[in-house]
A and B are shown apart, each in its own frame.
Chain A
């Protein structure tokens, strides 16, 4: 196998799975088997590519050109490899969870569901491996379109309304802001390729780059920078596995990944730093971080609280990008990894609670931890990782971002990070505490739940796996940082 073939396989494997899955629609076990086989094959491919990238390889694959001047090309670099790695690894874990959730809740149209997820993964892989903005844009839109049937899976009025807002904001921002930004970049720089250190020629007007950076920041709606965030809480009408994989990993991470990519490869850190609007955007990100946390605090619905928590956590990455210093960008890259593992744990726990106990609101969780210790334990671990307390993975990006804020001379932004961490503690930890410490409102109910629990082990194991993953990642943060260093001009730190 050559890296080029592996690069093509990134798209081919999930697409083939998407084609085969409907064929086995009648026999669920084979159908899910296809997903797992594809997931493992994809993970193996990604690992192979990661090893190649770590040794300095930058596999490239031309797939054609269009409009006479745009190359449709894949090229993998460390940031993309990282994104591909978390998306492919969590696809497998999440498929386990999906199996338990969809069967446990007897959801309809499961075949369509699995097929759409596979297509969405293919789109995410395409985003990860895009060699230029135009290619990325195509996959970005493909991701929106392929996830729309997932968001509206239930098919009732509420799902439709949520789906409409989802598609409207993501399509609208990308077509109205991102596309003009890409065209503007092309017109000024003459290319949209991702190049270490940026592509804009010397002496580009800072007014133009300011405008473009703003267009990018709000055009990448998937990054959910306020005020483009309402699609995220609205997308929570989707079944929990969708929220877990797509709205904690693939979709939102595609957004912040694009943001990081634009800052590091299109603008380049030094130009971003020189561009006045990066400071404003850093402030908007800081406001997003705090404001979304405050809103999360006021949600009683568990998924809604997690959704706003995601909005807040995503803005960490935008903030890191807009700080435009090595520490900030590396911190953003780390946050993509750590937040993915932490947040998917929380979402899967929420899904497990819904599947086993049919509870959706935080106020109903009193004492449930005693009946479901593994789930609530995993939740606590995930929450601590999100908050950023050692020894969990989530503590590293917070540390890097604070260093980045100091390095770029905006130390005051540390206040926003600290405020958010405190808010995180207030809105996440009590959920687990409530589960363990409080007395159940209705002990008979809980006794019943304890019996059903045994049937649903496939919704309990996955969050435990990812919780352990969050812990393990704490010790590998250094490796990830080393892996990411080459994305910075001048070799990194």
Chain B
């Protein structure tokens, strides 16, 4: 572990707290920075440090196993604890890396999309959102999870609303998101309240132990579980609780969309995993029922229905948004089958889809930046006018479909295999079918881009006009990452398997 030797010890030990404290403090400072490049630079540096920290924590975790950090030295269950284990370490890395990548992209994008006097607040809200997401992932305390969930949500509402400079509809989208997100958070906190009633603790490890002693607990914990699943379901855009998502993704500023699509719903899904398998346990009948009927049922309906809706969208952003709802269905399916292999596949799809969808939205943002493209028909001739951007879009789009040598293929085949091993043959069929639907909606756009000539404006054929390097670089990092994962899946599959083994207590 030569890399870890380079990292100071205090960072490894206090890393979990540092992860959320740094963006939280820097958000306040960034808000009052002058509205020039300084705000961007500070965000850039913060996310770079976060990425480094997240990587070293994840490596450290792989070496020493789960770590418990006691805030202020107060031992749980009375003090607040932060936990790093095989389940959240990859999600932490994901959030930090996606934040870093998005910030690089945000530099040119914000200049085009955000008014100069709003840029410092924009970056402040962005940092706040990162702090919230990282906080809810590392926290070992259910109430703190709620607090950070709200921190990230409220800052996200602000970020979505900032798309108003580009399209006024961002305001109503943000309002929608605000109402539904608040309902979700409320449900979640009610669920946590019931759990506190039942167990008398807010520490998640403690809750798990007490619930296990009570053999799943009374009706109160059943209700708590219901509230938590619905609350998180809203946050992670589980069908049919996804109504806020297409609008928010379509009208938010493009860097926000990319960041949201790759982290916010993923963090919520992580929480769902944490609660269903860790705090509660699939051995309780009510949890098993919810897994089998609610998560799988809604997941599968979402896969089919949202994929079909994606096909009929004329706006590419909404198309990708519906595709995200469908992809959440894959993850829920994997979680719902509840074998080690299937949970690992669902978890792997969580990570892979974040890379894929983040990259797709970055490419789409670059297309808006150059040509104002939002609709499928605007894609005509993009293969010639923006070959590099379109190239990244193509690779990532094929990855979404699940073509060999891409990340999407790895997670889909793992999921199909896990479903088959569990005897869920119909699920294998559904996975195939929705992959075909994905091929239709992605193929439709690719067809426009590569088989149509560039449009004419004022009698002149549109010239080649490639996106700036600061936009190309991040999207190609993700496109190449998706291919690398597709070829050398080992690291990701191992990480996902470790997470699943931790959750199911196997291995």
Contact = CB atoms under 8 A, between A and B. Distances in A.
B404 A187 contact: no
B489 A67 contact: yes
Contacts of B403: 175, 179
Interface string A157-190: 0001001100110011001100110011011100
Contact of B413 (A67, A164, A167): A67
B436 A176 contact: yes
A66 B486 contact: yes
A187 B420 contact: yes
Nearest to B407: A67
B25 interface: no
Given A67-B487, A164-B451, A180-B432, A186 B413 contact: yes
B308 to A, nearest CB: 15
A180 B438 CA distance: 13
A176 B413 contact: no
B371 to A, nearest CB: 22
B404 A138 contact: yes
A209 to B, nearest CB: 13
Interface string A314-333: 00000000000000000000
Contact of A160 (B405, B451, B490, B493): B451
Contacts of B435: 179-180
Contacts of A172: 439, 443
Contacts of B501: none
Interface in A126-178: 134, 137-138, 160, 163-164, 167-168, 171-172, 175-176
Interface string A32-74: 0000000000000000000000000000000000111110000
B350 interface: no
A208 interface: yes
B451 A167 contact: yes
Interface in A56-110: 66-70
A175 B444 CA distance: 13
A335 B132 CA distance: 67
B16 to A, nearest CB: 30
Contacts of B493: 68
A163 B452 CA distance: 12
B198 interface: no
A184 B405 contact: no
B425 interface: yes
A175 B446 CA distance: 14
A176 B439 contact: yes
B382 to A, nearest CB: 15
Given A66-B487, A68-B490, A160-B451, A175 B401 contact: yes
A171 B394 CA distance: 14
A66 B404 contact: yes
A172 B486 CA distance: 21
Given A175-B439, A180-B435, A184-B428, A66 B405 contact: yes
A66 B489 contact: yes
A187 B443 CA distance: 25
Contacts of A168: 447, 451
Given A67-B413, A164-B451, A208-B425, A184 B432 contact: yes
Given A66-B405, A176-B440, 5 more contacts: A66-B489, A69-B413, A176-B439, A183-B413, A183-B432
Interface of B: 401-405, 409-410, 412-413, 416-417, 420, 425, 428, 432, 435-436, 439-440, 443, 447, 451, 486-490, 493
The 3 closest A-B pairs by CB, nearest first: A180-B432, A187-B420, A68-B489
9 contacts: A66-B405, A68-B410, A69-B413, A138-B405, A176-B439, A179-B435, A183-B413, A184-B428, A186-B417
